Amino acid sequence: MIDRETILHVANLARLELKDDEVDKLKEDLGNILNYFITLNDVNTDNVTPTFHPFPINNIFREDIVKESFSVDDILSNAPSSATTYFLVPRIVEEKNGN
Amino acid sequence: MNNNVVIGLEIHAQLKTNTKMFCGCRTSFGDKPNSNVCPVCMALPGSLPVANKKAVTYTVMSGLALNCTISRYSKFDRKQYFYPDMPKNYQISQYDLPFCRNGYLEFFCDDELRKVRIHRIHLEEDTGKLMHTGDIMESEQSMVDYNRAGTPLMEIVTEPDISSPKEARLFMFELRNLLRYLDVSDGNMEEGSMRCDANISLKNPDGTLGIKVEIKNMNSLKSLEKALEFEINRQSHVIGSGGIIIQETRHFDERDGTTHSLRTKEEAHDYRYFPEPDLLPVVITDEEVMSISCNLPELPLKKYFRFIEELGIGKNDASTLVSDLKLANFFDECVDCKCSPKEAVKWILGDLTYFWNEKKIEPDSNVFTPLYLKEILDLIDEKIISIRQAKEVVEKVFEMIESPRNIIEKLGIKQISDEGFLIDTAKRIVEENPKAVQDFLKGKKNAVGFLVGQLMRETKGKASPEMSNKIINEILNKLSSKE
């Protein structure tokens, strides 16, 4: 149903390090979940419009009015590391692709 | 021009809203790091984003101005990636149901009206900024400022319809001008409120599309053109020497004008988009689209043709006026105050632009108003001041910030058109310059100019040039008929 490579790929995307036995376990679990979803393929959806959100509500907006932000001290209070008013993160060398 | 060049652009423009896309934090530029940040920006547990209505309206406005079809049903999606420029580890964007699709922008390139199609326009949130202290390879940590994270960012994607670096630059110029006319974005590439990535490939000899390369980091219109020129040369050389173009992302280096390869990730991008569960879909009705469409301002190209066709302005002048909304508005206001359009253009693009630039002020700063130009043109028409004096008055308006009529009153700048006084002075000058009179009688016509010049000097430039010319000619003709 789902192969080892796919499990490792998905784990890598989620930045998860898996031990060999965990890969086997996840292979089985994710395989079961995917099998369960196959059931949906049997349903005839020819005349059903796609659902993008479970709530039947649209257009919830806010007006463009400024609300006070948090104080810098509060914002930084959970940061493992900070300097002046910056967050500090491990050095990023790799350039980001995409936007 | 190389006909084998295929270029498509991806433009990101920050929208000019007061607040961020999904929360009420300020969007101002240059504030203390992390001072415009709240739990929504930080994706703290329990916080919920709510879409900024104005950002959606601005996107629809842009779409309509770019002749797009506006989606009646749109939604936001999550784009997942790991990079510390977003605390959420995803960016809210739009995937398969963007607000706008299938438009185009028309602009002039080498006197020819060109059309570049717009593939789509979607709305997303901008990311935070990462900085490094000292050398990037030596510093152990990166500093993150999330003030920019969450700023509404409109992404405009073109079709690969552009065929030269110059055309790419002119397209960007026109697009930026359009967004400024709509007042939805500052369009400042140097400050990063507008950014542009380019995809470029060279066609194979059989006409099929070659491998495309993406170029990033072009921070001005000039850089965009330079980067593309460099890349065309590079790709031609690679192909010419039997090499193959690799699909990759290249970074433009402003300092030496070259592009260089970014380290390509081993893993292909896999953003795993899915519908954003924290936000509800957006339904836009026909009535809303109609209402936004009716309220669009006059757009640059339409203004350009109106200036030429209705106001009789030359192509180059019309194009200069239209390229700056404040200049175009100033001109329109002058025409509204009944200035002759042709005269107004001469002054606006001449002396007024000179002083606006010199004093580093904008045409709408009210230092020199359209009504003042009307006064100046009237004063010239009424022969109260000469063109030369008018230029002096314009300069004084910028210094004294008073109306032209007040200034000529205060400084006594006036053209002398008291005919009796001018005739007496002219007679005296003719008597004092017998040599010039002799020259004239011998047929040297430039003696007239000399005597008119003397009369102007005598009156400190206040004599009406027309009248002076007439009087001197009359006196000399009388003398010659006596001979």
Q: Is A94 exposed, middle or buried (0-12, 13-18, 19+ CB in 10 A)?
A: exposed
Q: Nearest CB to B282: which of A59, A83, A87?
A: A59
B30 φ/ψ sector (left φ>0, alpha ψ -120 to 50, else beta): left
Size of interface A-B (CB pairs under 8 A): 149
CA distance B79 to chain A (A): 10
CA B50 to CA B28: how far, in whole Å?
Answer: 19
Tell me which chain A residues have a C-beta less than 8 angstroms from the C-beta of B25: 66-67, 69
Q: Which CATH code fits B419-482?
A: 1.10.10.410
What are the distances in angstroms from CA B213 to CA A88, B9, B160, B249? 33, 12, 12, 6
Domain ranges in chain B?
Answer: 5-287, 298-411, 419-482
Q: How confident is the model at residue B385 (pLDDT cuts 50, 70, 90)?
A: confident
CATH fold for domain A4-41: Histone, subunit A (1.10.20)
CA B478 to CA B483: how far, in whole Å?
Answer: 9
CA B272 to CA B274: how far, in whole Å?
Answer: 6
Task: Tell me whether residues A60 and B280 touch, CB distance under 8 A.
Answer: yes
Q: Nearest CB to B51: which of A61, A75, A92?
A: A61
Structure tokens at B14: 């920050």
Task: Tell me whether residues B82 and A61 touch, CB distance under 8 A.
Answer: no
ipTM over 0.90: no
Structure tokens at B298: 């006059």
Bridge partners (DSSP) listed for residue B250: B215, B261
Q: Is A69 on the interface with B (CB under 8 A)?
A: yes
DSSP B246-314: PP-EEEEETTTTEEEEPPPPSSPP----EE-TTS--EE--HHHHHHHHHTPPPPHHHHHHHHHHTT---
Mean pLDDT of chain B: 91
Is the distance from CB of B329 to CB of B363 less than 8 angstroms? yes
What percent of chain B shows pLDDT beyond 90?
Answer: 65
Say which residue the tokens 């008013």 belong to: A85
Structure tokens at B401: 């910030």
For residues B46-53, average pLDDT: 96
Task: Tell me whether residues A89 and B144 touch, CB distance under 8 A.
Answer: yes
For residues B440-446, average pLDDT: 82
B141-145 and A86-90 strand pairing: antiparallel
Question: Poorest-confidence range of B9-13, B41-45, B169-173, B428-432?
Answer: B428-432
pLDDT surpasses 90 at B69: yes
Is the distance from CB of B403 to CB of B393 less than 8 angstroms? no
Question: Poorest-confidence range of B107-121, B256-270, B329-343, B416-430?
Answer: B256-270
Q: Is A64 on the interface with B (CB under 8 A)?
A: yes
Give the count of alpha carbons within 13 A of B409, CB side only: 5
Q: In B115-261, where does DSSP find H-type helix?
A: 165-182, 221-240
Domain ranges in chain A?
Answer: 4-41
Task: Tell me whether residues B263 and A95 touch, CB distance under 8 A.
Answer: yes
pLDDT surpasses 60 at A99: no
Closest Cα partner for B183 from B294, B65, B344?
A: B65
Chain A residue at shortest CA distance from B18: A64
